[in-house]
Amino acid sequence: MRDAHGRHRVVITGIGWVTPLGDEIDPVWQRMLAGASAMRPTAHFDASTFPTTFSAQVGEYDPKPRLRHVECHEGIGRNTAYALGAAAAAWRSSGIDSAKGVDHERLGIYLGSGEGVIDFDNYFASNLDGWDDEAGAVDTVAWAAAAGRRMQVVREAEQEPNMPLAHLAMEFDAFGPAYNCLTACAASTQAIGEATELLRAGVVDVMIGGGAHTMIHPLGVTGFNRLTALSTRNDECTTSSRPFSIDRDGFVLGEGAGMLILETLEHARARGATMLAEVAGYGSSADAYRITDIHPEGRGPAAAMQQALDDAGLEVGDIDYISAHGTGTKENDSIETKAVKRVFGDHARRLAISSVKSMVGHLIAAAGAVELITCVLALRDQRVPPTINLNQPDPECDLDYVPNVARDMSVSVALSNSFGFGGQNDTLIVKRFEDPQRQAAP
């Protein structure tokens, strides 16, 4: 039950998500296959004066019906709520709750998770409440009293990116390794990749891997607007996310979480788990180029994809489908296309490639995990989701991006890309699980 490198094989046994299209696996998947759009006018705050007035929001969400230790999670913010809900769904779907002999000291967590929502309104109101005109300064005692009235201290603690991690450890009694990375849009792909490495090395038996993030708040939107990274198609928001289209004008900010239960094959088999897929390969690279731009020749993304292929022991012709990073920005889509051609050569034109960001927006740190789950479902159902709003393909993006309509096709191996600001590039490869014991049986 080891791979060609002598490492433990790693399988996916549970999946869960909270997305702008919903929080149940199959209903959301069917909406994706149908080409549904989650883009709506922003409701989390008054965005009417911003260049971008819309986003892909989860809406009101309460994870408590899915949780065992509700008393541990009072006062949480959106990041933690999404992480808990998605992880609880993945945990339940894995069947691990009823498993015997799970060693909680060998149960770990690796998240790609971002900072929480910053409560600017109450922060500045507290400053004003504490202002002393005579002294010409903020009276710290008055400020503290005002802050105590206005600001939720527990919620403010979620400013730390590892708060979802801490809550997950409490919820699942995970006493093993607990890690959090915040490598921008590549974070949850990196988290799952590094979780896989811990399992391969035999450090743990089970890992909860994935990501959670929301940046739908004034600071997040302001930052991305100033970078001119967001679509400003306010009058056409439902069709605003247009990866690989000639008229794309930026990505749509989304939010949510994606979580997977990863196990060594030995552990999963011992408890009679259903193997949804196998994690075959992981690659990671840095562009070492610029903070906000991918290298124009796609050297970083190409390196990550090639590393993942090498790690999996696969050839380019073994890949059937790519879940593209596919943000809908001018630079990303054309450079990702170059990188795919650079790695896959002639096979690039035989690949099916799509971007579910066209439907759910860009979930930032959570994007990679949600997109990897779509790869698992594509392996299960032999269907790949479309890239919607692709009516005018960019001549520079001349590969098969599964425009507008989902496709029935044979999918044995899928590759998922995530590229983040700062030049972080991460790639995962998943494949249909093949049981060598069953094949060897007479």
Q: Which residues belong to the active site?
A: 185, 325, 362
Q: What is the largest CA-CA distance in the chain?
A: 90
Angle subtended at Cα 21 by Cα 240 and Cα 115, rounded to the nearest 5 degrees: 85
> Which amino acid does the sequence have at 389?
N
Question: 4-36: buried (b, 16+ CB within 10 Å) or exposed (e) per residue?
Answer: eeebbbbbbbbbbbbbbbbbebeebbbbbbebb
Q: CA nearest 99: which of 272, 274, 275, 277?
A: 272
Closest CA to 199 of 300, 133, 110: 110
- For residue 221, what are the contacts with CB-CB under 8 A and spacing of at least 6? 42, 47, 50, 52, 55, 215, 230, 253
The enclosing H or E element of 138 equals strand 137-138
Q: For residues 142 and 260, what is the distance between their CA atoms, to the nearest angstrom?
A: 46
Please check whether residue 275 is in contact with residue 261, taking contact to mean a CB–CB distance below 8 angstroms. Answer: no
Q: Check if the beta carbon of residue 91 is closer than 8 Å to that of residue 17.
A: no
Closest CA to 276 of 265, 290, 288: 265
Provide DSSP, 150-205. Answer: H--HHHHHTTSTTHHHHHHHHHHT--S-EEEE--GGGHHHHHHHHHHHHHHTTS-S
Structure tokens given for 302: 């190409």
- Give the C-alpha separation, 203 to 270, whole Å: 17
Question: What is the DSSP annotation of 272-313?
Answer: T----EEEEEEEEEE--S-SSS--TT-HHHHHHHHHHHHHHT
DSSP letter assigned to residue 263 = E
What is the CA angle 168-113-280, rounded to 5? Answer: 85
DSSP codes of every residue in 180-193: EE--GGGHHHHHHH
User: Is the Cβ–Cβ distance between 259 and 370 less than 8 Å?
Assistant: no
- Between CA 426 and CA 380, with CA 188 as vertex, the angle to 5 degrees is 90
Contact predicate 418/357, CB 8 Å:
no
